[in-house]
Structure 1
Amino acid sequence: MLYSRDRLLELESRSLAPYAMRAAETRGREFPEPESAYRTPFQKDRDRVLHTTAFRRLEYKTQVFVNYEGDYYRTRLTHTLEVVQVARSLARALGLNEDLAEVISMAHDLGHPPFGHAGEQVLAGLMKDHGGFDHNRQSLRIVTWLERRYPGFRGLNLTWEVREGIVKHETVYDVPSAGEYEPELRPTLEAQIVNLADEIAYNAHDLDDGLRSGLLKPEQLEGVELLSDLARELRLELGRLDEFGRRVLVRELLGWMITDATVSTDAAIQAAGVNSLADVRQYPRPLAHYSEEAAARIAGLRDFLYNNLYRHYHIVRQVAKARHVLERLFAAYTEMPQMLPPGVQRAAEEEGLFRAVCDYMAGMTDRYALDEYARLFDPYQRGRI
């Protein structure tokens, strides 16, 4: 039996919660085009994001550790895949649209520049007087303008709900600027759980990478209430935590956060009397959240990671190096645009030099940025100029 698009849409209509976003009810695409015979609109969007250049580049973009630090640390790509897993788990448990949650997760970091949040801070500062920069808006710009794969339009022509989910992505470190995507209303619950999934994923895997790298010492975890209590339940001695114990601790931490987010979000939906997507959009606060107790404990973990990992001298040195590389590249390109590749020079004529340079640099991987720095400033650099 073939499952046509109509059959898939019918199954969605019958199986999803009343407040979920159904693909059949999408506001559609900016440019009309035929839908797939055997995929829903959100499944089609997912596949389009997967095949972009921007998605592949995430493999060589920093999460916490710069790419050359080692093969086992998370990158933007592996982080994205972990967010997808968490978001799909939350969506399935809550009766939401897994395909919509998946595609928003896959696209949420497409606009991140090289060198993680350090790179974003540098570009935001450099572009302050030239239209600004933030990675949510850049992710939207990639899928609506910069990716060129279809003859009739620029961008990927994604559905409205996916684009809204991208631009309204919000975490402790990401503040959305929704622009024309109804900023006065909440996004779909699928977009809201991606916000949670992002936080859940990076809290767990940054802890894991920090311990694996040796920048975090197991005995330091005793001061984090959430981790010390969890270790006690698992009968782990944090002062003698080995590799297997680390994996158990991180795995159970991840499961604990997912479970709390699922149960607490369901309780919030029931308490608010939400029965439709319109109710979700008009509710004054996000419905997807942790319990109060869990939120306080997770905040303690986040503070610990900030003070002991993200502000570790080794990471601070990486950040300083990244800042130096990006500032030098930006100055070189804007002072002498003739050094830019022909395609970027053409973009500068259409959209202005600073925006074209910003797009070019935001698209760089860590490795490409470092190689480009060497090509421009190392007098002994050999090979292709």
Structure 2
Amino acid sequence: MDVFDLRYMKRIRFQLRSIGAWPSHVFEDVPTTKLTAISRYGYTSLLFILCSTGMVSQAVYLVNNKGTMPFIDLGQTYLTLLLSFVFCHRTTLPMHTSYQAHIEEFVSKFHLIHHKDKTEFSAKMFSKVNRMCEIVTIVEILQFGVSASMFNIAPFCLNYRAGMLSSERPMNVTFEYSVYYAVPFDQNSGVWYTVLCIYNAYVSYNLGCMVLCHDLQIAVYVFHIWGHMNIFEHNLNNFPRPRKALGSKTGPLRYSNEESKEVAIRLKEIIKHYLMIKDFVAKTSDTYSVTLCVYYAFHLVTDCVLLLECSTLEIDALAKYGLLTVVMYQQLIQVSVVFELISSKGDSLSDAVYGLPWEYMDNGNRRTVLIFLQIVQQSLALKACDMVPVGLKTMLAVLKTSFSYFLMLKTFANN
């Protein structure tokens, strides 16, 4: 069975390909030509240029209308501007060689499909992780489809209710948009309204896919790291004890010379497995270090803005931002809980290493276990910008700060 025979891997590859974020050239033997860079990064660069242009246009619109727009309505432009910033940052990920090498290593070496035949427990863990990844993939795609659709359908419904889509539009009424831009043409024209709606729908797809699919990709990595750690712990807990001599009623005090050689080989295999896990975690942290930092900073500001938008309790605001708010909070919680799997599991590994039957080993194997114990005690937690551990504590800090900012902004809005 190949990695890409799995349904969730097919879905992830398809979604990332649609936004130019899948490094197809890494898995295909394509000759290098003068147009190679364009074929690899052309679409990604186009998305980056489109989003950067949109950010500038949104910023100009914000400056031009800052004095006339209500305080609550400013939140919509701030929200889309922040989303565009995250989108711009993530469009640069596929251009990094570390990102491409990381995907290649995961697909060709680290994925549990390459380890499932080693033991019966490995096969069970592969099946369990496979189900987890499948469920999370379906949930992420549904969230992406529904939230992106609602974000664009809500303004359309508001325009229809106001009579803006009829042949005789009411006077002194303007079109509602999901994203507002400063443009050199009349946005209240029916033709340009159609053009901007199509453009916003296109950008919403790319933005939602860029944000949610990269989150999904990171979650799949973490699930497989967790699976490897479970296999590693199981191998430690089921390390063979000294065999009893035939007819002996008491257990031996030491491994025999032949058993000691087998113990040395088994310890070597276990250490190699742990170092592979540790190396992959380090590469994951390096690849997504800045991405996670931007992600938490984005949630710190955006979550309070979304609460501010929904705090009016108006039907229009809830239709447009209600589901988006739920999805954004759910994403923050999901990513943090997923990363907590590694931190919580890593704490029990040192106990499992200490639980090895080192008292039966010779001095050489005991030294190996002692050195290995010191290595395992080092934390495996991933960190944003190599400073902030990613997990539940960071999530709670972000949520508390967001609620504090929301209450402060709500007070300003009421005044």
TM range (shorter): under 0.3
Kindly name which structure, 1 or 2, has the bigger radius of gyration based on alpha carbons.
2
Q: Compute the TM-score of the two structures, normalised by the length of structure 1.
A: 0.26
TM-score after normalising by structure 2:
0.24
Larger relative helix fraction: 2
